[in-house]
Structure 1
Amino acid sequence: MRKRTMRSFALGLLASASLIGAAYYLSPPTPPTEQEVKAFLKQHGLIAIAKDEYDQLRRTGRKVAATPTPKPSGQTVYVYRLVIEKGDTPESFAKKLEAAGVIDSARSFNDYLQQRGLARSIRPGTYTVRSDMDYAAISRLIAGP
């Protein structure tokens, strides 16, 4: 092949890749399916309510609990000795807590810490954590007052 032919071919490849990339990034995202929405809500411990019910709650000023409810009594309570070393990430010890049966979801606990700005204030140390503790109690224990 000659130099001019090779350059023309390369330019054609670049142009087609650019067009495909632009079409991909500029196309509107597909909306999530109902099953995906339900899975997301369940994973994050949220519920969906109708808009009129939401508006009524806002008008009456009632507060809905933002933290997960404690587990009912009569279930097995797991006690876990959590060791957090300097440099450990919240994801790493959240996975340990999930594996030990202390929390239901490492991701939702990590999201809880991130939303409340506690992820950077975790103190290294050894903590005794129980499965009947909610996210707020665990975060107070490991992040301090």
Structure 2
Amino acid sequence: MRKRTIRSFAFGLLVSTSIIGAAYYTSPPPESTDVDVKAYLQQHELVAVTKDEYDKLLSTQSKASVEQPPKQSVQTVYVYRLVIEKGDTPETFAKELEAAHIIDSARSFNDYLQKRGLAHLIRPGAYNVRSDMDYAAISRLITSP
């Protein structure tokens, strides 16, 4: 095939694609009929209600929420006895803390210690750590003499 033939073919593809795209995007979307809506609702196990019924449900729901006192959220605090021995690396006990649900991520805690230069200041010993402590509090605890 010659170069001109290939170019003509490519131009024809471009023109036909443009015409199809223009026809697709300018045509109005198909109208939904009652039968289509009912079939969709049945298929997804949904129920259609009138505007008045909906407003009545909203008003009863808002009254019910006003009458009930707000529920207090209960937060579980985990306590863990961390034992750091001489020669332990931060990665080792960070994984322990993650497994005990004290910290979210061992990697991020280790990165925190490394970025702040605290990894070499860690003292061996036994420490009580809680899940409500942040990284700074835990690092202060394990680096203080």
- Bigger relative contact order, structure 1 or 2, given CA contacts below 8 A and separation 6+? 1
Q: Which has the higher helix share?
A: 2
With normalisation by structure 2, the TM-score equals: 0.49
With normalisation by structure 1, the TM-score equals: 0.49
Larger Rg: 2
